[in-house]
């Protein structure tokens, strides 16, 4: 199959490991990961790391990508107030293609108004917001509901990463070894 | 009148100025401010300040206080997952006594399920969560809806502080000079 192309949405104050680990993992499996944000340029992680936003939302469309990944930290609340980010997310979820969100990542899904009737997890600090958005919050390491893949916190990254790889057709065997390299 | 007694709820990662400025302002007007949190002891501000939590939620009841103040930052999301904090907040709002919340402070009000039909403001990053909780979000420096007093960010502190003083009967004249001393 063609090399899977993944869009990771970023803004300042992203949770470092929740962006960098899935990016490295997916790339190690052979996927291309494109970082997208409100504007091109460097963004700061909340723990001091940096990543480059390669394209702005104005430069991309959902149909270019096979999967959307939303890391946590403070980035989702910075993205959820940007109309283009919310619109991109809404259209991506509606496409039926896989969407992975971890920790505070579902804040962007709440603002995209796509959680009605969906089952998901997140950091527990936003569980009431997920419920009020119509989502069914559960406290589990990994939740896969149709195209929606969610985890709670950085300690869930090995299983989250594995599920992301699988969702774009990158085999369990490769995914497992990647997850192991990620610290499982 | 008796000296007004104010409860300020705190946890780690509070927004420094949103806790310290209202505390200093209310004390300068003659109020007593008691800091309450999940447990006694020092808590860290997100910008490096520290405050002492004087009493735990287990040690206090809403009827001891004349007003509740909820500073923002990361503290509200740390409080909203603590049952005693949510229960205290719910009962305080129901009492009809004044409640002030700034920035991310309304996250605690969302979890206390007290925003149905109320008009309020907050940092814009949580506006969709307020709407999903049944609140009417408006983007204004200061919103007073019956007993609920809200502001958006630290730059709104002068008017927020003034409104808090007024809500516990501490005169506009004193409040205005306090607000001016706070940097207006």
Pairing of strands B67-70, A41-44: unpaired
* Mean per-residue pLDDT over chain B, rounded: 94
Return the residue of A nearest to B79 by Cα: A125
A115 or B184: which carries more pLDDT confidence? Answer: A115
pLDDT of residue A173: 55
Residue numbers in A near B110 (CB within 8 A): 128-129, 132
CATH of the domain at A96: 3.40.50.880
Return d(Cα B132, Cα B129) in angstroms, integer.
5
pLDDT of residue A20: 98
pLDDT of residue A106: 98
Per residue in A26-39, pLDDT (tens digit) is: 999 999 999 999 99
pLDDT of residue B171: 65
Q: Is residue B183 part of a domain?
A: no
* A109 has a pLDDT exceeding 90: yes
Sign of torsion, CA A84 A85 A86 A91? positive
* B179 has a pLDDT exceeding 60: no
Assembly ipTM: 0.92
Return the residue of B nearest to A132 by Cα: B132
* B119 has a pLDDT exceeding 80: yes
Of A80, A127, A128, the CB nearest to B125: A80
The tally of domains found in chain A comes to 1
CA B171 to chain A, closest CA, distance in angstroms equals 38
Q: Is residue B116 part of a domain?
A: yes
Active site residue A49: no
Q: Which residues span the domain enclosing A59?
A: 5-176
Using pLDDT thresholds of 50, 70 and 90, give the confidence band for residue A115: very high
Q: Is residue A72 part of a domain?
A: yes
Q: Is residue A182 part of a domain?
A: no
Q: Of the listed B103, B108, B112, B149, which one is catalytic?
A: B103
Q: Is residue A183 part of a domain?
A: no
* A113 has a pLDDT exceeding 90: yes
* B181 has a pLDDT exceeding 60: no
- Which residues 37-76 on chain B approach chain A with CB closer than 8 angstroms? none
Residue B41 CB burial class (10 angstroms; 0-12, 13-18, ≥19)? exposed
* Binary contact (B78, A125; C-beta < 8 A): yes
Q: Is B89 on the interface with A (CB under 8 A)?
A: no
* A147 has a pLDDT exceeding 60: yes
Nearest in space to A112 (alpha carbons), one of A136, A84, A153: A84
* Binary contact (B80, A125; C-beta < 8 A): yes
CA A132 to chain B, closest CA, distance in angstroms equals 5
Q: Is residue B182 part of a domain?
A: no
User: Percent of chain A, pLDDT > 70?
Assistant: 92
Q: Is residue B73 part of a domain?
A: yes
User: Percent of chain B, pLDDT > 90?
Assistant: 91
Q: Is residue A115 part of a domain?
A: yes
Phi, psi of B120 (to 5 degrees): -160, 170
Using pLDDT thresholds of 50, 70 and 90, give the confidence band for residue B174: very low
Per residue in B85-107, pLDDT (tens digit) is: 999 999 999 999 999 999 999 99
Return d(Cα A105, Cα A85) in angstroms, integer.
13
On whether the CB atoms of residues A43 and A10 are closer than 8 A, the answer is yes
Using pLDDT thresholds of 50, 70 and 90, give the confidence band for residue B175: very low
Of A78, A81, A129, the CB nearest to B110: A129
pLDDT of residue A171: 65
pTM: 0.92
């Amino acid at each position: 199959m063609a090399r899977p192309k993944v869009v990771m949405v970023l803004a300042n104050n992203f949770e470092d490991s929740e962006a960098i680990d899935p990016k490295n993992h997916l790339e190690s499996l052979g996927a291309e990961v494109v970082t997208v944000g409100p504007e091109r340029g460097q963004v700061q992680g909340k723990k001091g790391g940096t990543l480059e936003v390669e394209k702005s939302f104005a430069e991309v469309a959902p149909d270019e990508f096979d999967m959307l990944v939303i890391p946590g930290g403070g980035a989702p609340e910075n993205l959820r107030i940007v109309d283009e980010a919310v619109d991109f997310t809404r259209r991506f979820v509606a496409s039926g293609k896989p969407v992975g969100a971890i920790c505070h990542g579902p804040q962007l899904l709440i603002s995209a108004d796509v959680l009605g009737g969906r089952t998901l997890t997140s950091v527990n600090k936003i569980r009431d917001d997920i419920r009020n958005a119509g989502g069914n919050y559960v406290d589990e390491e990994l939740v896969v509901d149709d195209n929606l893949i969610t985890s709670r916190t950085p300690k869930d990254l090995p299983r989250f990463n594995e599920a992301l790889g699988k969702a774009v057709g990158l085999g369990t065997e490769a995914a497992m070894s990647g997850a192991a390299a990620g610290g499982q």
